[in-house]
Amino acid sequence: MKVPSVECGKQLQVGAGEAKALGKGVDMVRGSAYIEGPLQVGDDEAYDTITATVMIGTEQNTDTKEHPKESLHVKGDVKIEGDTDQTGSMEISGDMTIGGTMKSNYATWDGSIVATTKLFDIKHPTKKNQRLAHGCLEGAEHAVYCRGRVNNRNNIIDLPDYWSGLVDYGTISVQLTAYGSHQNVIVKRISPIEQRIYLQAQGGMPVDCFYHIMAERKDVNKLVVEYEGNSVEDSPNA
């Protein structure tokens, strides 16, 4: 049977079953509907088999001038009880709170990651049926480092070229560990223009040492180490 339009003034029920939440008799909720399902909405060719109680495809109605990109648009809060399996990207403009564990093969953030600890936990590389966990070294600044060995007879450490736009050269610190002999190695000078660190050893002998250089980033705000607040949401470092 085909009819141009149907108006239901009270309640629509499709299929068997009784929706207790929608009421009965005088308690029936006006404008409510119960559909036993499965229910498919949108593109009639979007599904070949029944995959869910409600299946929503893209809107393909020829009476509409423009077809919206979204298949589902909700204004208001959403509560999901159960697992969510999503294929594709997710964009969240507000806050997201996770009470359990978030697992991801790769994740990126435009802002800061705030946590009580940061660590990696991997399958142990040498011991069977064991795992290996290491925590991150932390400090009162947003810093980066580079390390290596100098044995080039020029007694020069070439800094990464991108450090000129990344770090404050005034915060550079250098740790040196002589290798093979006592050399009394010192930092002779730091050249931001040349992006080099010049070393000097006792008696002008060639330098052979390991180095560990740290510097504070200048492309982000300085870390506020202590602040007033009752939770991480009060942090000025967000």
223 domain-assigned: no
pLDDT tens, residue by residue, 13-39: 999 988 999 998 889 999 999 999 999
Is 82 inside a domain boundary?
no
**Domain assignment of residue 52, given as a range:** 11-56
Can you tell me the distance from the alpha carbon of 70 to that of 47, in angstroms, rounded to the nearest whole number?
17
Give the bridge partners for 49, in sequence order.
Answer: none
The Cβ of residue 195 has, within 10 Å, a number of other Cβ atoms equal to 16
Residue 65's pLDDT is what? 87
Q: Is residue 182 part of a domain?
A: yes
Tens digits of residue pLDDT in 171-214: 999 999 999 999 999 999 999 999 999 999 988 888 999 999 99
Q: What is the pLDDT of residues 70-128, one digit of tens each?
A: 999 999 998 989 988 888 888 888 888 888 888 888 888 777 888 888 999 999 999 99
d(CA 52, CA 102): 25
Mean pLDDT calculated for residue range 152-156: 87
In a domain? residue 47? yes
Q: Is residue 158 part of a domain?
A: yes
Inside any domain, residue 115 = no
* The pLDDT value given to residue 215: 97
- Number of structural domains the chain divides into: 2
CB atoms within 10 A of CB 35: 14
Does 25 reside within a domain? Answer: yes
DSSP 193: T
Predicted confidence at residue 51, as pLDDT, reads 95
Q: How confident is the model at residue 152 (pLDDT cuts 50, 70, 90)?
A: confident
Given this model, what pLDDT does residue 107 score?
Answer: 81
Q: Please tell me the distance from the alpha carbon of residue 80 to that of residue 193, in angstroms, as a whole number.
A: 57
The confidence score (pLDDT) of residue 108 equals 81
Q: What is the torsional sign of CA 44, 48, 54, 56?
A: negative
Q: In the predicted model, what is the mean pLDDT of the chain?
A: 92
In the predicted model, is pLDDT for residue 238 greater than 80? no
Residue 22, in any domain of the structure: yes
Q: What is the pLDDT of residue 148?
A: 96
- Backbone phi, psi, residue 40, to 5°: -115, 135
Give the pLDDT score at 54.
Answer: 96
DSSP states along 16-67: S---GGG--GGGPPTTEEEE-S-EEES-TTS-SS--SSEEE-----TT-SS-
Rounded percentage of the chain residues whose pLDDT exceeds 90: 68
CA–CA separation, 158 vs 149, rounded Å? 11
